[in-house]
């Protein structure tokens, strides 16, 4: 079974910011099919927001990487549904 790796905002930021390093190595493994990559829209938006402030050229890079990668992107979670689920777990 292929390992699944979630790319959070910091991993996406690092991959766009530095052409070498662990984050880019994870992306390379994803391109080779050695791991299954996934993320969500919230992580992408956070990475883009942080890149805009700290390294604006990285926004285009992260978008290009995401377009080229075999990556599953989940939509942003519904805040109301998340609150209901949390409330159900706590009761």
CA distances from 29 to 4, 11, 35, 40, 77 (A): 11, 14, 6, 19, 27
Report d(CA 62, CA 67) in Å as an integer.
Answer: 9
The verdict on pTM exceeding 0.85 is no
Question: Residue 15: exposed, middle, or buried by beta-carbon count in 10 A (0-12, 13-18, 19+)?
Answer: buried
The three-class DSSP label of residue 38 is strand
Beta bridge partners of 36: 4
Q: Is the pLDDT of residue 1 over 90?
A: no
pLDDT digits (tens, 9 = 90+) for 37-71: 999 999 999 999 999 999 999 999 999 999 999 99
């Amino acid at each position: 079974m292929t390992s699944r790796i979630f790319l959070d905002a910091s991993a996406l930021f690092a991959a766009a910011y530095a052409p070498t390093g662990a984050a880019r190595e994870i992306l390379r493994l994803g391109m080779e099919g050695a791991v299954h990559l996934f993320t969500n829209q919230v992580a992408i938006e956070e990475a883009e927001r942080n890149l805009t402030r700290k390294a604006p050229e990285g926004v285009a890079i992260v978008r290009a990487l995401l377009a080229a990668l075999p990556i599953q992107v989940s939509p942003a979670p519904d805040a109301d549904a998340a609150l209901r689920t949390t409330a159900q777990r706590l009761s």
